Structure 1
Amino acid sequence: MGLTPEEWQAVQLSLVVAATAMLASLPFGVAVALLLARGRFWGKSLLDALVHLPLILPPVVTGYLLLIGFGRRGPIGQFLADTFGITLSFRWTGAALACAVMGFPLMVRAMRLSIEAVDRKLEAAAATLGASPAWVFLTVTLPLSLPGILAGMVLCFAKAMGEFGATITFVSNIPGETQTLPSAIYTLTQVPGGEAGALRLTLISIAISVAALCLSEWLARAVGRRTAEA
């Protein structure tokens, strides 16, 4: 039996939310990972703790904090609404924000480990040839750490696909607007006769996650081969 229109809507929304969360987090993830891997500054341990805090806190707490800060009456949410007309609470964009926050620690950790594995002598050699720090990063550090960056992106995407607690707390469970795969599965388990739909969506969720991991592994190997040949 095929998916119902509502189930297809949940699948499509989950893909959009997860992709948006991943792409929006990418530049910040690379910057924070580089800062933690190469930076020497006061408060580094505090920054590291803040980055990983969503992994420790219950997802519902993270969602509630987002609701306080980015809700319509929150300081950031009210500023965005009044200044730019952007509303995040109870919108799919808010779901993307919640997923990005939850997936950000996994992204940063994978990227940081990859950057730390880059031989500092190669960076130093490029610097002695007159390359600026930005050029060293673009031509040496970034290509060598690309497999870890890809892994971090996939981890963030996979986490976003499975995020439930923070999302439902921040943006609720509105069909067609904020109802992603996990919340749709939860809804189907609460209604009589919804077990078949919940099973279908569960299988789709597993298939998407496995496909993302396989794609990440293939890309990492392809990048590794090209880097070795270069």
Structure 2
Amino acid sequence: MLTPADWTIILLSLKVALVAVVFALPPAFAIAWMLARHSFPGKSLLQAVVTMPLVLPPVVTGYLLLLWFGARGPLGGPLHEWLGVSFAFRWTGAALAAGIMAFPLLVRPIRLSIEHLDRDHEEVAWTLGASRVAAFLRVTLPQLMPGIIAGIVLGFAKALGEFGATITFVSNIPGETQTLSLAIYSLLQTPSGDSAALKLILVSAFISVVAVILSEWLQHRLYTKWPR
């Protein structure tokens, strides 16, 4: 049986992962669109920066976040002073770390969907009098939804299991920053924590499987509704 402490960890993990994906999705879509549709100086550099969280050790990413978004960091200080927003050692910081680590996994499938999109449908919509905004919302976006959903699921799974950047940036504080991965790590360090850790491992696996099944179902429905 799951204890109240277990439910606190699970709900916090879901909140962190969902917030991370929700806030990372708009900039991920914008950058994916730029990389897929436009050529500009520094495009390769932008691609490298987007990919960096995947190739850097997560601890390095967490340390950089602590430097920039800490209480005295160049971004964290003004945000805390002017807006009252704090990241270091808070659940919001866990969401920020998870969002950054998940960002490349959001960008890549969306970019691939945009690159493989048949632009003839857009041109037909324009010739029939649709504005660019209307054509995007009614023609382009529906065709991109399978790729967007794939990115969301990958990003959510990465955010849910994020460990290195999170523990470096916001530590492992029960009830505040202790997500599933951090709680499992803590339990495995204690002599009698194996059974409790196993429960959380099974919960993590269950959530991931449900997310993948839901993603496959949604993509099937969308491909059926909007054949490509």
**How much has 1:135 moved relative to structure 2?**
3.0
1:115-139 superposed Cα distances (whole Å, 9 cap, x missing partner): 1111122222223344443333222
2:114 alignment partner in structure 1: 115
Letter matched to residue 94 of structure 1: G
Aligned-partner Cα distance in 2 for 1:140–1:173: 45
1:136 alignment partner in structure 2: 135
**How much has 1:9 moved relative to structure 2?**
1.1
Letter matched to residue 138 of structure 1: L
The structure 1 segments of at least 4 consecutive aligned residues displaced by more than 6 Å after TM superposition are: none
Aligned-partner Cα distance in 2 for 1:197–1:211: 22
What is the CA RMSD across the aligned residues, in angstroms?
A: 1.3
Q: How does 1:167-186 map to 2 (within 5 A)?
A: 167-186=166-185
Q: Secondary structure of the equivalent of 2:192?
A: coil
Contact 1:109 1:152 in 2 (8 A): yes
Q: How does 1:75-114 map to 2 (within 5 A)?
A: 75-114=74-113
Letter matched to residue 36 of structure 2: A
2:22 alignment partner in structure 1: 23
**How much has 1:21 moved relative to structure 2?**
0.6
Aligned-partner Cα distance in 2 for 1:227–1:207: 30
Aligned-partner Cα distance in 2 for 1:200–1:123: 49
Aligned-partner Cα distance in 2 for 1:103–1:127: 35
Task: Name the TM-score, length of structure 2 as normaliser.
Answer: 0.96
The alignment-based identity, stated in percent, is: 58
2:7 alignment partner in structure 1: 8
2:45 alignment partner in structure 1: 46
Aligned-partner Cα distance in 2 for 1:214–1:123: 31
Letter matched to residue 210 of structure 1: V
Q: Secondary structure of the equivalent of 1:75?
A: coil
1:13-70 superposed Cα distances (whole Å, 9 cap, x missing partner): 0000001111111111111111111112111111111111100101001111110000
Letter matched to residue 46 of structure 1: L
Aligned-partner Cα distance in 2 for 1:108–1:135: 23
Letter matched to residue 111 of structure 1: I
1:82-119 superposed Cα distances (whole Å, 9 cap, x missing partner): 11011011000100000000001001001111111111
Q: Secondary structure of the equivalent of 1:89?
A: coil
Change (3 A) 1:225 1:156: same
Q: Secondary structure of the equivalent of 2:75?
A: helix
Letter matched to residue 114 of structure 2: I
Aligned-partner Cα distance in 1 for 2:138–2:63: 41
Aligned-partner Cα distance in 1 for 2:125–2:37: 16
1:32 alignment partner in structure 2: 31
Letter matched to residue 205 of structure 2: I
Change (3 A) 1:40 1:132: farther
Letter matched to residue 127 of structure 1: W
2:213 alignment partner in structure 1: 214
Contact 1:7 1:184 in 2 (8 A): no
Task: Name the TM-score, length of structure 1 as normaliser.
Answer: 0.95
Letter matched to residue 27 of structure 1: P
Aligned-partner Cα distance in 1 for 2:25–2:81: 27
